[in-house]
Amino acid sequence: MNDALTVSAVQYQALEGGIIPNVQEHVRLIEDAESHGARLVVFPELSLTGYNLALLVADDSWLQRDDPRLGDLHEICRRTGITAVAGAAYREPDGTPRLASLVIHPNGTTELGFKTHLHGPEREVFAAGDGAVVIELDGWQIALAICFDAAVPAHSTGAAQAGADIYAVSALYTLAEERRLALHLGARAMDNRMFAILANLGGSTALGPSCGLSGFWGPDGCELKKAAGTGTEVVTAVLQRSALRKFR
C-alpha cells in the first residue's frame, strides 16, 4: 500500500472525427501525465466522442468489448504503467447501451463503470448503472462517478461505504455551473472524508461552453488544485494518505 498516489485529471476538449482521433489524443495526454509521475489518469465524460448524443445514432460511435480501436490506449498504459479512465458510449455483449467509464489497466485488463443517474435525454439513449464501481490501484480504493452522479449524495455515500479513498468524477459542467461544480465536489469529499477529482470536458460542447475547473478537493472539502482555463489541460496532484487519516 502506497502512502501517496499521483493522479492527473485531464480537462479535455474532444476532437471531431470519432473515436480514433480521440484515442490518439488520449495517448498524447497520457504521455504528458507520465512526465508528471502520474499513476492514474482520469478523462471526462464521453471523452472518446465528446458530449453530443446526436452522434450516437451511428454504430461506430459506440465501443464494445475488446474493441480494436482501443489498441493504442492499451499499449500506452502497458508501456507507462498508468491506469487510464476514459469516457465512452459502450454496448454490453447483450446490447445494453451504457454511458461508461472504461478503466484500462497496464496489464491489459479493462474494468467498466456505468453512469447511475442519467439526466435529461440520456435516459432515452442509455440504461442506468447501479452505483459506483470501486477500483484498486497501489492500495488506494477509487470510486468512479459520471457527471450527474456527483449531484446525488447517495452515490458518493455508497462509494464511501464500499471503502473508497477517492471519488473520481468524469463530467461536463458548462459555463454558469461553476457554483454547482464547487458545491458538488467539495461536499462529496467533505461529507465522506475522501479526496475528490474532477475531469471536466473542455471547450465548446453540444450543451454549451465548458466552465473548466478540473481539479482536486481534499477530505476537508477544500479545493487543492484546478485547471487554469477551459481548454485541454493536464492537472496533476499528489494525494497523501496522511490527509485522509486526519478525518477518519
The CA distance from 234 to 7, in Å, is: 10
Q: How does residue 37 score in pLDDT terms, banded at 50, 70 and 90?
A: very high
Whether pTM exceeds 0.85? yes
At residue 96's C-alpha, the angle toward residues 93 and 153, to 5°, is 125
Contact 223, 181 (CB under 8 A): no
| pLDDT for residue 159 is more than 80 | yes
At 232, the pLDDT band (50, 70, 90 cuts) reads: very high
What's the rounded Cα separation, in Å, for the pair 207 and 231?
15
**Helix, strand, or coil here: 115?**
coil
Of 105, 137, 136, 140, give the one whose Cα is nearest residue 240. Answer: 140
Q: What are phi and psi of 187, to 5 degrees?
A: -70, -40
Q: What is the pLDDT of residue 1?
A: 74
- DSSP-assigned states of every residue in 120-135: GGGGGT-----S-EEE
Task: Tell me if the domain spanning 4-245 has CATH number 3.30.420.40.
Answer: no
Closest CA to 5 of 42, 32, 45, 31: 42
Q: Does residue 83 carry a pLDDT above 90?
A: yes
Give the integer Cα–Cα distance in Å for 25 and 30. Answer: 9
**pLDDT score, position 223:** 98
pLDDT band at 202 (very low <50, low <70, confident <90, very high): very high
Q: Residue 163 — φ and ψ, nearest 5°? A: 100, 15
Distance CA 135, CA 149 (A): 17
